[in-house]
């Protein structure tokens, strides 16, 4: 089996050590960083995402795959050209003000990192102004917010309003969580709604044209 | 009460309809075992009598209750440790174990409430939690405040979240103009729920 195929399979099967050793072997043999990234790691996670979307696999297996991908990415990142690194994107993520649930947010953060994004995790109960300040400070392209209750999702709209007030419409907003849907996304003027963690990553990629 | 948390319930909650690979089952069994160590169930209910600010769901009931169920704060602390240390799969599985456990605690509490109501001659009852149809999230605060003990073991945040997180509050009603038995219809998770019995 060639090295690329081996890494690809290791990520799909969530085998962290095999993915890591495969990437190292590929680098040692002179395989290009972009070849490993696109044809092994990203291609594998794309298939994992598809399988999740089809209900063939579920979150635990996706997390294993994301961890395997992350292990490979850790070896690739130091070798990225500066332009490659900037191209992956930076996401500021957190749970909406008043909300202390973090599992969904954590899953999205892990999968975004696995997909190569830099993630700045603000934690839970994050005030709207904090999202905007941090996005500016970190030069993030995306703010991702999660809420579990109808009482806490309203603050997401405030983040969108603040971005508009500050003429920061280039910062895209992704929302998700149990009470949130596409209609609410449109109502508050957010850029995308992620119905689950995998869809969230897909939407971030879409927002950034990846 | 919840000496065992059924593995199948956790798998169903995650979405599995058929058993997953052995590696995952083994890890889940570890998390079930760990989860049991952290369970500190709390089950409380009180009768509501003569309140003037009853939620709509309780209007017309002959006998009304407020209820609080929780598994305590220990498990969610361990979940956080897993996530913080990069062991997300373990964290997710343990969190799901906690979600299933609190549901079982809630069901056990509902059974106790029905026993209490039966002693008073009421057989049919309904329960409903804040967030369900006709019960706004703000009722969460109302429920906690109705307990005579000002520290019932669960508190509510200004945005109506219960702490510990693996807790839930509900209302129970018996008698009056009650026409149907308990049903999951009206729950915001109804369409996507993986645990609902077919007859609910």
Q: Does residue A166 share a domain with residue A71?
A: no
Instruction: Report if residue B200 sits inside a domain.
Output: no
Mark yes or no for CB contact B159/A152 under 8 Å.
yes
Tell which residue, B192, B195, B182, has the closest CA to residue B125: B182
Domain count, chain B: 1
pLDDT at residue B153, as a whole number: 86
Mark yes or no for CB contact B159/A149 under 8 Å.
yes
Tell me whether B29 touches chain A (CB under 8 Å): no
Instruction: Report if residue B195 sits inside a domain.
Output: no
Measured between alpha carbons, how far is B12 from B195 in angstroms, rounded to an integer? 6
Residues spanned by the domain of B48? 7-174
Q: Does residue A135 share a domain with residue A190?
A: yes
How many CB pairs below 8 Å do chains A and B form together? 68
Question: Tell me: the pLDDT tens digits for A37-55?
Answer: 999 999 999 999 999 999 9
| B184 within 8 A of B190, measured Cβ to Cβ | yes
pLDDT at B186 over 80: no
Instruction: Report if residue B182 sits inside a domain.
Output: no
| A38's tokens | 């696109």
Q: Does residue A200 share a domain with residue A111?
A: yes
Q: ipTM for the complex?
A: 0.86
Which among A100, A101, A107 is the nearest to B92, CB-wise?
A107
Tell me whether B191 touches chain A (CB under 8 Å): no
Residue A112 — very low, low, confident or very high, per pLDDT cuts 50/70/90?
very high
Q: Does residue A102 share a domain with residue A46?
A: no
Q: Are strands B167-174 and B125-128 parallel, antiparallel or unpaired?
A: antiparallel
pLDDT at residue A177, as a whole number: 94
pLDDT at residue A209, as a whole number: 87
H-assigned helices in chain A = 3-12, 16-28, 33-35, 43-53, 59-76, 82-88, 103-114, 128-138, 150-153, 155-165, 182-188, 197-207
Please provide the size of chain A in residues.
Answer: 210
Q: What is the pTM of this model?
A: 0.87
Q: Does residue A162 share a domain with residue A139?
A: yes
Task: For residue B15, give the chain A residue with the closest CA.
Answer: A58
Q: Is the bond preceding residue A121 a cis peptide, omega within 30 degrees?
A: no
CB atoms within 10 A of CB A166: 12
Tell which residue, A82, A4, A2, has the closest CA to residue A37: A4
Instruction: Report if residue B191 sits inside a domain.
Output: no
Helix (H, G, I), strand (E, B) or coil at B67: strand
Domain count, chain A: 2
Tell me whether A95 touches chain B (CB under 8 Å): no
Q: Does residue A126 share a domain with residue A107?
A: yes
The arrangement of strands across the sheet holding B63-70 comes to B42-48, B63-70, B167-174, B125-128
Tell me whether B192 touches chain A (CB under 8 Å): no
Hey, which residues 134-173 in chain A have their CB within 8 Å of chain B?
148-152
Can you point out the beta strands (E) in B95-166?
125-128, 155-156, 162-163
| A6's tokens | 């081996």
Instruction: Report if residue B55 sits inside a domain.
Output: yes
| A4's tokens | 């690329």
pLDDT at residue A1, as a whole number: 57
Q: What is the mean pLDDT of residues A170-190?
A: 96
Domain final residue, candidates A49, A80, A111:
A80
Best of B19, B25, B88, B138 to disrupt the A interface by mutation (most A CBs within 10 Å)?
A: B88
Distance from CA of B152 to the nearest CA of A (A): 20
Residues spanned by the domain of A50? 3-80
Q: Does residue A110 share a domain with residue A65?
A: no
Question: Tell me: the pLDDT tens digits for A64-104?
Answer: 999 999 999 999 988 887 666 555 799 999 999 999 989 99
Query: Any idea what the CATH number is for the domain that residue B110 is in?
Result: 3.40.109.40
């Amino acid at each position: 089996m060639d090295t690329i195929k081996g890494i690809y399979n290791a990520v799909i099967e969530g085998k962290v050590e095999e993915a890591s050793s495969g990437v190292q072997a590929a680098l040692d043999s002179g395989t290009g960083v972009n070849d490993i990234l696109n044809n092994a790691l990203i291609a594998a996670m794309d298939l994992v995402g598809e399988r999740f979307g089809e209900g063939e696999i579920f979150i635990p297996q996706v997390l294993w795959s994301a961890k395997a991908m992350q292990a490979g990415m850790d070896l690739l990142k130091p070798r990225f050209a500066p332009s490659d690194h900037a191209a992956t994107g930076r996401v500021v993520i957190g749970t909406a003000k008043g909300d202390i649930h973090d599992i969904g947010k954590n899953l999205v953060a892990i999968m975004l990192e696995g997909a190569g994004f830099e993630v700045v995790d603000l934690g839970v109960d994050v005030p709207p102004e904090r999202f905007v300040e941090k996005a500016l400070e970190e030069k993030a392209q995306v703010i991702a917010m999660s809420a579990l209750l109808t009482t806490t999702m309203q603050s997401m709209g405030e983040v969108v309003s603040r971005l508009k007030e500050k003429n920061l419409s280039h910062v895209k907003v992704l929302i998700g969580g149990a009470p949130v849907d596409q209609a609410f996304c449109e109502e508050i003027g957010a850029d995308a709604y992620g119905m689950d963690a995998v869809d969230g990553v897909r939407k971030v990629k879409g927002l950034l044209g990846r | 009460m919840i000496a065992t948390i059924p593995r199948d319930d956790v798998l169903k909650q995650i979405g599995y309809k058929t058993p997953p690979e052995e590696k995952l089952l083994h890890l889940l069994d570890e998390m079930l075992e760990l989860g049991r160590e952290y369970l500190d169930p709390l089950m409380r209910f009180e009768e509501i009598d003569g309140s003037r600010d009853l939620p709509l769901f309780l209007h017309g009931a002959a006998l009304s209750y407020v209820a609080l169920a929780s598994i305590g704060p220990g498990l969610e602390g361990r979940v956080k440790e897993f996530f913080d240390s990069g062991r997300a799969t373990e964290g997710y599985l343990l969190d799901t174990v906690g979600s299933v456990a609190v549901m079982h605690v809630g069901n056990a509490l509902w059974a106790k409430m029905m026993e209490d109501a039966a002693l008073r001659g009421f057989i049919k009852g309904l329960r409903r939690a804040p967030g369900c149809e006709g019960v706004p999230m703000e009722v969460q605060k109302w429920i906690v405040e109705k307990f005579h003990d000002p520290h019932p073991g669960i508190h509510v945040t200004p945005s109506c979240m219960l702490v510990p997180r693996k807790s839930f509050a509900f209302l129970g009603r018996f008698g009056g103009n009650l026409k149907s038995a308990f049903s999951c219809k009206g729950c915001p998770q109804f369409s996507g729920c993986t645990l609902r019995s077919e007859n609910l």
